[in-house]
Structure 1
């Protein structure tokens, strides 16, 4: 009698475990499905940016200089991300957010000419901007701005006059911005038409 009872309990546990296992498999499958759908859905801004990125590798005579500029900018951005830990250590002011010992990865970059770029960064609370020069595969800090993320037009123009080239087609990359009164976020630094270093761009 005890053996039959033991067998029934074992079968019940086995059946219960099978139901739990099937439930877990279904949940994982649903999670994967919705993740895939979310990745496939992208805003029109992201889609058009991706199309621009793909054109980088299709060089024609009419857009060769723009394409070369985008390729060079992409390489500089990759180098910036790769070397950010050593670059951020040279910023003269340190993060002010409690428990933060390093500046987070740049959230915005703007190429202004003469191998110089503006880089926006933060510690999760306090923003900062650095003017960097990229030469011989190395970055040099030219100037920094503590607790500042944007500039008035006249201040920004002064930076361009001091460090950039007024005839250079300024190129801006960001991970998020305000567009049509909505926050638009990207997974990585994306080339955008807005000048996000300006107040009320």
Structure 2
């Protein structure tokens, strides 16, 4: 029996809802740390960054599902919807923390979106994720048919924008954001190479 088969057998019995529960628990823990003033000298900024990084981790996790199945035989497809929606959940919390706790004024929010490129890029990524989250259900899949898959290719653009937002956000060229962006680009490249490969005769 292959390693993939050994792993796939118990994975089938793990409910996808566990991802939602862990996401809620982590968000609640971060909120508790903020309330208890345990997020450092700038708790709002620390909370904002922690939520954003959680979204990026989940974004990468969602992108890696298909390559793992194709190249390693690991079948984690049942978790992809939960990963995607949890990613959107953290993006929304990240956005709300910035807008409500950090900026605290609607006119300044709009001004920052227009004035600061990293916020413009991040907001563009968020807007691309909105239709993906709204159609991440079986009813939308049946209603859209083949167009559902085409719509959800917006995930790739949203992923690149999310990685770029992180790189542009930090001061100078830091390794961690560049690694995130590189991983995203490699995972997307694997998909492109797979589609571009000529059919066997």
TM-score category by the smaller chain?
under 0.3
- 1 or 2, which has the higher helix percentage? 2
Find the structure with the greater CA-based Rg. Answer: 1
Q: Which has the higher contact order (CA 8 A, sep 6+)?
A: 2
- When normalised by structure 2's length, the TM-score is 0.24
